[in-house]
Structure formats: structure tokens, C-alpha cells
Amino acid sequence: MGERKNKLQKFLKLHPKCIFCGGYVDATTIEHCPPRSLFQNKMAPEKFEFPSCVACNNYSSDEDLIVAVMARMGSPAFGDSDGRLVGMMKALNRQKPKFYKSFLPSATEARINNRQLGITPTAGMTHQEMGVLNINDETREAIKVFAKKLAKGIAYLEEGLIFSNDHCLALNWFTNANVIKDGGHKVFEILSHIGGVTPKLSRNRVVLNNQFEYKFSLSDDKNLILIQAKFGESFFLVINGCMTAGHLENLLEKTYQDLGRDYRPFEIIQGIAMDPISSN
């Protein structure tokens, strides 16, 4: 117990402020992002521990569970190597029974989905427990909450940047089902050419990039960041961030106006609310 407390005190001395609510509040806890439960045997990569206030740490526990279940279910080849998935699904059902019902496809839906996507359940698993989930509003919300935290964590880890609450983060995300059905994903393809770093992620020398991998890009003036992240075979996040309030929001609004269509690949998940410019 004492050792753990020491470790925390040492960590907080180096990282005194909560990075999730703007860097103003003293951090008193360590937040793991992505959540450890997303990784097999809870072996999360080293360094993915961030200074957090209690409020920010507790805020996303439901979302963390949803995201961890999604990442595992969408990666049938290894998503349940540690045998924890069913327990996590039961926990989710206990915590959010109504949500769980709409999240999990029916047995028939699951069988059809999995057949289309070429997914075969591994031993002891049903079609429902493998592969494709129904993406509902709450799932989308969970991904947004998670993406915000992840972007702040990676920006801090890679460059020591702390996003304040009026700095913009914009998200585009998609699942393995989108990729398989559409034969790829446009945003990912376009942005894949942007230079950046893809670090090797490991714990105790076990490489974990099959479960979580990202590419981090930063503009020369350190004003814009781009994160392209992959969670096993399950889902993919593309997050744009900007350290100048209002800049990215305007840029996106202008781009969408020029494109002259309602389709907005990036959704602003944090930043200054913009009045949508009318398209007439």
C-alpha cells in the first residue's frame, strides 16, 4: 500500500495537473487511457498513465467499458485470448441493461452480419458475442468521450501538450464493418500519407500494437495535431486537434461550406460552438 502511494506521489510531482480538463486543476490520481480492460490480461502499454483529477478519472468508467468491449468483440482473432470478454459483457449488462439490449445484435442479426464479414466464432463463443455490434447513440457518445481523452493523452505523451477546454478536437471514426463493406475508408486513405510517428507500444517487452496502434502527426508550429488510431481489427479513430481556439472550427466550417454538402466527415467533439453557415 505504502509503495503504491509513493509511486503515485512521485508521478504527481512530475505531472502535477490534470490533463483532461485543461491543465488548471491539480491531479490526484492516475488515469489509464485506453482503459486497461481493453487489453488482453489488462496488459496496457507502458506510459499510458496520465495525471487526472478525481472527477475526470471517474467520469468515463461506463464509456471505458463500452469501448473495451467493442475493441475486443471486433477483433475475433485475439479479442478474447484472456477469456475476460464474457465477464465484461455481463458487467456491461448489469451497469446498463437498456443500452446493452440495443448494443448486442439479436442472434439472427449477428449470424447474418458475421457471415457477411467472414467472421467465425471461436470455440465457446456465440455469433452474438463475436464481431459486429449495433452502433447506437450511446455508443457514439462513448466513442466521443473516449476519443477526447485519448487525444489529450497522446498529445501529452508525445509532445507535452495540454489541451484547454476551448481548444478544438474533431473526430471521424468507423468500424471494421465499414471498412469491409466499403473496401476501405476514404479519410484514412487520404490522411495515411501525412508523416508522423507510429511508436512501438509494449509492456514488459510484449509488443501490443496488434491491440492498439496510432500515428501521431504535429504541424511545424505545434498548433495542429492529427491522430490516426486503430483498436485491433475493431474500430478506427481519426482525431484532429488544434491549440488555437476557433481556428480548426472555422477551417472545418469553411471546408464544408466550400464542398457545398451536408456530409461532415469530422464532428467537433470539443471546441467553440459555431453557427452553421447557411448554404444558400
Binding site for Zn ion (CB under 5 A): 18, 20-21, 53, 56
CA distance 249 to 23: 21
Nearer residue to Zn ion within complex by CB, 18 or 237: 18
CB of 150 to Zn ion, least distance (A): 15
CB of 12 to Zn ion, least distance (A): 13
Nearer residue to Zn ion within complex by CB, 62 or 253: 62
Nearest-CA neighbor of 242 among 164, 146, 137, 159? 164
Residue 147 has what DSSP assignment?
H
CA distance 130 to 93: 16
Nearer residue to Zn ion within complex by CB, 31 or 233: 31
Nearer residue to Zn ion within complex by CB, 18 or 66: 18
Peptide bond into 34 cis (omega under 30): yes
CB of 33 to Zn ion, least distance (A): 12
Nearer residue to Zn ion within complex by CB, 51 or 241: 51
CB of 28 to Zn ion, least distance (A): 10
Place of cell 467465425: 120
CA distance 152 to 12: 17
To 5 degrees, how large is the angle CA 136–CA 145–CA 249? 100
Can you name the residues that pair with 227 across neighbouring β-strands? 216, 239
CA distance 272 to 157: 25
Instruction: For residue 55, give the amino acid letter.
Output: A
Nearer residue to Zn ion within complex by CB, 53 or 252: 53
CB of 169 to Zn ion, least distance (A): 15
Instruction: For residue 75, give the amino acid letter.
Output: S
CA distance 247 to 255: 12
Nearer residue to Zn ion within complex by CB, 20 or 216: 20
Torsional sign, CA 246, 249, 255, 261: negative
Residue 41 has what DSSP assignment?
G
